[in-house]
């Protein structure tokens, strides 16, 4: 089975500063990795995904992530955050063996002026 | 295309009652998954349906059940509600064809269930 660990439960950052949200996964098989964002009282929105190919993945709203197989990581980055990026971010993993997404506990990103 | 819709958005029930939640997937999507989100346990997979068949099931008691109709709409049912069932229930749909799984799941806004 696959699992995901999000290393930071909360990340405070100032507006226009860079940010990295960390995600490590464990799996004995090939994996597919995702980052989702959840704004208050809303569902989950897909930010980006890694299925195969280039290890640097670009997503919506200026976010990107790098798949690192040797370090089993899939960290999310943004070079300059906005107040509107304040939300909960979830890393998720799945594989060919199932259709379920296994989510991390989430990282709360708080952007302040 | 319209997104995934869930009804109702909010629900208050009493312990021991049962509840049915509804999900309409994105048009053309045949795979529907359900997740439970709580502050303590986070996001947990309940089950997944494809073409009216349950393909995958999470680790939840039998009180949690679901079904999918021929138009891909899905319902989940929770019987004999417990206080711990209070949660946000999220539905997601995917364009999985059944031959070549596509792993992008698109989520609805959720149904907030409160059990008193």
Spatial distance between the Cα atoms of B85 and B78, rounded to a whole number of angstroms:
9
Cβ-Cβ contacts under 8 Å, A96 against chain B: 101
Return phi, psi of residue A60, to 5°: -85, 165
Give the pLDDT confidence score for residue A113 in this predicted structure: 95
Low-confidence ranges of chain B (pLDDT < 70): 98-103
Low-confidence ranges of chain A (pLDDT < 70): 96-98
Burial class (CB in 10 A: 0-12, 13-18, 19+), B40: exposed
Spatial distance between the Cα atoms of B113 and B100, rounded to a whole number of angstroms:
34
Look at the alpha carbons of A38, A41, A43, A45 in this order and tell me if their dihedral is positive or negative: negative
- From B33, B108, B110, residue closest to A99, measured CB to CB: B33
Give the pLDDT confidence score for residue A99 in this predicted structure: 72
Q: Which helix (H) or strand (E) covers residue A67, if one does?
A: strand A64-68
Cβ-Cβ contacts under 8 Å, B96 against chain A: 99
Q: Are A103 and B43 a contacting pair at CB < 8 A?
A: yes
Rg, C-alpha atoms of chain B: 14
- Strand-pairing partners, residue A15, are none
On whether any CB of chain B is under 8 Å from the CB of A32, the answer is yes
On whether any CB of chain B is under 8 Å from the CB of A13, the answer is no
Cα–Cα distances in Å, from B77 out to A30, A44, B64? 33, 22, 6
Cα–Cα distances in Å, from A93 out to A33, A50, A106, B8, B35? 5, 10, 13, 29, 14
- CB of B8 closer than 8 Å to CB of B113: no
Question: How many CB atoms within 10 Å of residue B69?
Answer: 12
Give the pLDDT confidence score for residue A98 in this predicted structure: 63
Cα–Cα distances in Å, from B104 out to A108, B59, B101? 23, 22, 9
Give the pLDDT confidence score for residue B62 in this predicted structure: 95
Q: Are A101 and B106 a contacting pair at CB < 8 A?
A: no
Q: Are B101 and A99 a contacting pair at CB < 8 A?
A: yes
| Residue numbers of B between 48 and 87 with CB closer than 8 Å to A | 48, 50, 55-56, 58
Strand order in the sheet with B64-68: B5-7, B19-24, B74-78, B64-68
Return phi, psi of residue B79, to 5°: -100, 160
């Amino acid at each position: 089975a696959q699992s995901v660990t999000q290393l930071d439960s909360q990340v405070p950052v100032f507006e226009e500063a860079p940010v990295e949200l960390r995600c490590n996964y464990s799996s004995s098989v090939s994996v597919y990795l995702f980052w989702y964002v959840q704004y208050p009282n809303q569902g989950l929105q897909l930010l980006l995904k890694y299925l195969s190919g280039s290890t640097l993945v670009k997503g919506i709203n200026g976010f990107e992530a790098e798949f690192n197989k040797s370090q089993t990581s899939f960290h999310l980055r943004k070079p300059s955050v906005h107040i509107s990026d304040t939300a909960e971010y979830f890393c998720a993993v799945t594989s060919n063996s199932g259709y379920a997404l296994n989510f991390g506990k989430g990282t709360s990103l708080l952007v302040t002026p | 295309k319209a997104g995934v819709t869930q009804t109702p958005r909010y629900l208050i029930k009493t312990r021991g009652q049962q509840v049915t939640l509804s999900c309409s997937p994105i048009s053309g999507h045949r795979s529907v998954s359900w997740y439970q989100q709580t502050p303590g346990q986070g996001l947990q997979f309940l089950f997944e349906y494809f073409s009216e068949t349950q393909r995958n099931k999470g680790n939840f008691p039998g009180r949690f059940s679901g079904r999918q109709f021929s138009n891909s709409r899905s319902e989940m049912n929770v019987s004999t509600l417990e206080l711990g069932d209070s949660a946000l229930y999220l539905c997601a749909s995917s364009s999985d064809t059944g031959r070549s799984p596509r792993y992008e799941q698109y989520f609805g806004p959720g149904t907030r269930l409160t059990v008193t």
